[in-house]
């Protein structure tokens, strides 16, 4: 990397604008210069007053003061002034590139849901000054952006992210013992967080809870049974992986049609799907009151007995449920002559009314991509297994909140593609040595203006520069 400047004449005076560029080899063996960082105008006029000044925080001070920058080779005629800093542009160096954009977007969504305030009240601060809400956000952001083990978060990912800069913390925030201790404090607040999120989504998106989707999934573990009596980790048949030889837990969840999750429950791994629905119907009715709701469920979840109870309820609880395979055989001859109706491009349906029920036969012309395989969970304690799932739930809440933003502002973008684009926004430290033996440190990030305009988001101000004793060049990260 090296410096490049462009001279521009403005108002009868010469101005010089600086950038950091690098050579990049492209097709055909050509070498082109790629813009890395724009530094702006570092004024080289020989006037006593300066045209380019910046706020700088000096070592040992808490308040910034104004300084003027001049390159070392264009300072003739300047009087001695403590507010003038002469920098060695020829010795400029860059260090610590780290992922900033996606971390900032995750923090913006976290604050939009007011989870920073909620968790700060719930978790508080330890006697040693650890702000547990900050540790929790690190765990959630990691689960959202680069899911892996807590050990990898501690050893690698946190250092390569700009979370410390965004949160005003240091590397101690991701100490491994803090990450595990944070898990141990979460579960007692599950219901409080469910209530908080339901209210927040109602305020943000005017969400109603008249149509609800209910489903079950499972996740398996790298663990060694036997487990203590009452432990939820059990051998059970995994519908996702089509195998019965895994230790797993079952996760029952309720979401709105927009994908906003209202509640979930972790059940023993050998739980039968059809035994779970009645409890969730009662729970949702207690939390949101009686209403003419519509429940969407996979086949095998409700029993005929529970469906009869739903029809007889006051007011009736409506449902759309997958039809058992045995009944489909009996209905086949009635469906053959029915015309197809296109509900949206690539999806067609046939409707059949019979015995107070409406059957919907659907087919997709495009093959749905196979669901991405899960990574096993490695926690060895049941409480931390459930806390791990709770953290994943919070990460999913950020994901679907972004999805609702995109639905209104940029419907062709997916949350995953937006996070990938923001992940390209790097933060970097720019070191400018001065002729008096000090060093000016500017921490800067690039700005994806088109994407920000689409999402109606504003980036925070660039961090203030710092000046102090010259720092040793840190070793390159392994």
Is 149 a member of any domain? yes
Among 189, 318, 196, smallest CA distance to 260 is for 196
Check whether residue 330 and residue 385 sit in a common domain.
no
Question: Residues 371, 394: one domain?
Answer: no
Count other Cβ atoms within 10 Å, centred on residue 173.
Answer: 19
Residue 347's beta-bridge partner residues? 344, 364
Candidates 286, 283, 287, 281; CA nearest to 303 is 281
Residue 446 lies in a domain: no
Torsions phi, psi for 107 (to 5 deg): -65, -35
Q: Read off φ and ψ for residue 36, nearest 5 degrees.
A: -105, -45
Summarised one tens digit per residue, pLDDT across range 318-332 is 777 877 766 777 777
Are 194 and 226 found together in one domain? yes
Say if 429 falls within a structural domain: no
Residues 213 and 337 in one domain: no
Could you report the per-residue pLDDT of 11-27, keeping only the tens digit for each?
787 777 767 677 777 77
Do residues 134 and 211 both lie within one domain?
Answer: no
Considering the domain boundaries, does residue 455 fall inside one?
Answer: no
Query: Taking every pair of C-alpha atoms in the chain, what is the biggest distance, in angstroms?
Result: 97
Q: Are residues 342 and 415 in the same domain?
A: no
Where is average pLDDT lowest: 230-239, 260-269, 362-371?
Answer: 362-371
pLDDT, tens digit, 9 for 90 and up, residues 99-149: 999 999 999 999 999 999 999 999 999 988 899 999 999 999 999 999 888
Examine the domain organization and report whether 233 and 316 are in the same domain. yes
Domain assignment of residue 232, given as a range: 190-322
Higher pLDDT, 467 or 4: 467
Tracing tokens 């005929």 back to the chain, one arrives at 304
431 in Cβ contact with 439 (< 8 Å): yes
Are residues 222 and 338 located together in one domain of the fold? Answer: no
Question: Token digits for 50?
Answer: 């300066």
Residues 161 and 239 in one domain: no
Residue 431, domain member (yes or no): no
Same domain, 180 and 199: no
Task: Confirm whether 449 is domain-assigned.
Answer: no
Q: Is residue 201 part of a domain?
A: yes
| Shared domain check, 407 and 357 | no
CATH code where residue 237 lies: 3.30.420
Report the number of distinct structural domains present in the chain. 4
Mean pLDDT, rounded, for 178-199:
93
Higher per-residue pLDDT: 24 or 181: 181
- Would 454 be classed as within a structural domain? no
Map tokens 């001279």 to a residue: 7
Burial 361-396 (b: 16+ CB within 10 A, else e): beeeeeeeeeeeeeeebebeebebbbbbbbbbbbbb
Both 12 and 41 in a single domain? yes
């Amino acid at each position: 990397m090296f410096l490049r400047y462009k001279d521009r004449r403005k108002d009868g005076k010469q101005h010089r604008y600086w950038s950091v560029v690098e050579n990049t080899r492209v097709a055909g063996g050509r070498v082109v210069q790629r813009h890395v960082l724009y530094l702006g105008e570092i004024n080289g006029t020989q006037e006593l007053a300066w045209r380019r000044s910046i706020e700088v925080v000096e070592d040992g001070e808490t308040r910034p003061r104004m300084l003027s920058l001049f390159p070392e080779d264009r300072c003739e005629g300047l009087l001695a002034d403590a507010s003038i800093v002469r920098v060695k542009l020829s010795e400029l160096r860059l260090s610590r590139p780290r992922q900033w954009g996606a971390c900032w977007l995750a923090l913006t969504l976290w604050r939009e849901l007011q989870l920073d305030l909620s968790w700060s009240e719930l978790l508080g601060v330890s006697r040693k000054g650890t702000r547990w809400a900050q540790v929790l956000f690190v765990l959630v952001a990691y689960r959202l952006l680069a899911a892996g083990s807590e050990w990898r978060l501690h050893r690698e990912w946190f250092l390569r992210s700009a979370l410390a800069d965004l949160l005003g913390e240091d590397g101690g925030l991701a100490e491994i013992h803090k990450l595990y201790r944070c898990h141990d404090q979460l579960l007692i607040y599950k219901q409080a967080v469910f209530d908080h999120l339901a209210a927040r989504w109602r305020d943000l998106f005017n969400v109603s809870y008249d149509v609800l989707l209910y489903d079950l999934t499972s996740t398996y573990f790298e663990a060694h049974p036997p487990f203590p009596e009452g432990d939820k980790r059990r051998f059970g048949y995994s519908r996702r992986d089509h195998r019965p030889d895994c230790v797993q837990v079952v996760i029952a969840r309720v979401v709105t049609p927009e994908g906003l999750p209202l509640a979930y429950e972790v059940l023993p791994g050998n739980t039968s799907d059809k035994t779970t629905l009645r409890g969730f119907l009662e729970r949702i009715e207690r939390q949101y009151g009686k209403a003419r709701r519509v429940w969407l469920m996979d086949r095998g979840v409700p029993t005929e007995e529970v469906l009869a109870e739903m029809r007889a309820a006051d007011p009736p609880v409506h449902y759309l449920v997958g039809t058992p395979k045995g009944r489909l055989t009996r209905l086949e001859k009635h469906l053959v002559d029915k015309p197809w109706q296109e509900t949206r491009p690539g999806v067609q349906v046939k409707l059949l009314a019979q015995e107070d029920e409406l059957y919907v036969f659907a087919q997709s012309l495009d093959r749905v991509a196979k669901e991405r395989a899960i990574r096993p969970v490695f926690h060895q304690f049941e409480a931390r297994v459930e806390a791990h799932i709770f953290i994943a739930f919070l990460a999913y809440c950020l994901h679907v909140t972004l999805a609702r933003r995109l639905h209104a502002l940029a419907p062709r973008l997916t949350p995953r593609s937006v996070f990938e684009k923001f992940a390209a926004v790097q933060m970097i430290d720019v070191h400018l040595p001065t002729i008096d033996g000090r060093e000016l440190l500017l921490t800067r990030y690039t700005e994806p203006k088109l994407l920000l305009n689409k999402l109606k988001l504003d980036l925070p101000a660039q961090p203030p520069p710092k000046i102090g004793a010259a720092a040793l060049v840190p070793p390159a990260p392994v």
